[in-house]
Structure 1
């Protein structure tokens, strides 16, 4: 992937690829433009994504469609209370030659859909989160690298919380984005019903492949960013900490716990990618704001006062801009 003469050409190519990818995905996914953008930014930023939404909002279809358009391997893991870590990462079995061999689990794919991750016990959640962090799994003392690129899109159902195991804040922090899915508009739902109740199957083109994605991930990291944009991102995160000197009055009143340094890192990388897919060669403060809500939403803990007064976490984050 060294065909580009300069980073400017490479960013132009990423911007063009992004437009082609979203155009192709829109053939199948209707009315979820912001969600598609967040997923693609996470992919090109080498991060992971948590999708929160009620059943039936095409979360699985979205991930399958993205994997087809990006020409990546895809596995879906349905998380249940009896799922074991070995059901995800794989296990050692005794072969015919009386030698143990490792049988790879479903985590060995480019894109993993961890469906209803809060339905499985912490031990199994931890096995997936370790793979997300290390990009490798260890079995019987042997480390097995996961394919590149590796991207986890986990889903959580915000209703029916009985019998679930919510992810602790430290584990939520592993996800770059927390993306909230809402019901489609009336017009979009009409289009969805028309598209999905017939026999026509959309033929999707493969726009880019794994090698190109890995190149673009490195490109995003190399995009220059000015000191004042970095300082703006770090200051925004510092304002979320109610015990900190930079905390706003609203944060002190309504927030129990704020975001850590990983949020600052993701804000800068996310802003770089957001700028690149829109044809800009360096991010500005608007790019930081564009990714801030999805990055900070799951890293801030509201107190009871905020819940009682109906103050949403999104309102508090917008107040930091």
Structure 2
């Protein structure tokens, strides 16, 4: 039989204390008399009374809730990151509320308005490109905010993540060092991600003064990768390597190349970006870039909680990414 949930008034009646005193005990006020604290806690346990978080938020203006808004939950790179955020917040006594923007700035703004109404005390946002109205709203409501998946020390908002331009530059340099000059670059829609824009800039910087690489813009999906590979193979002069700015796209590229009888990397080298869990298990194993998604989620969560609890400044943090050489890329010379 489920025990009936008690109320603050029931605890007050049982102890002979006021509801205000009971509330102070349950909120951890250190000034409460130890004897009263013991009486209240024993009565609360006996009467099955647990404070309502929403009611506590109204009375203390603290909901112990942090909001995160991400573009998608479909790809495991976001799942790994959000798992780290939730685990870290939980360990610090906070709750995560999550919203999906579908890479739409207007949807992100609407989601933020709803999360503020729910009592969100701080926001963790993906990327540095956001609606001006959203940033004005967060500033007006004095909500601490941190941007993730990017690092930009000059940004007006703290960033926790990595330098997407530099990582892409390093990826192209890696392929060039393996003898690949003709490289096709497959990426998701430019308009949906400032991270993609930065990565494409890094590619171009690595090709400065040389013949420009071919860029293929597709939907960020396995099928998008298939479409890109299909298009690339139609060229009169094929590349020797395909750099995919997401492992999801690389998987689709590999599927299509193998479906038409090509061998990776003998006929075509393929490189990804994310180091998703399956990358080391693919055939051949995927050369890719390991992004510090777990560490990023942990640092972002700790930063906003420290801001709320101690008034600490949220500092921008650059996290290292690492090229993981596997079997999908070969030297041509």
TM-score when normalising by structure 1: 0.24
Of the two structures, which has the highest relative contact order with CA contacts closer than 8 Å and spacing of 6 or more? 1
Superposition TM-score, scaled by structure 2 size: 0.24
Larger Rg: 2
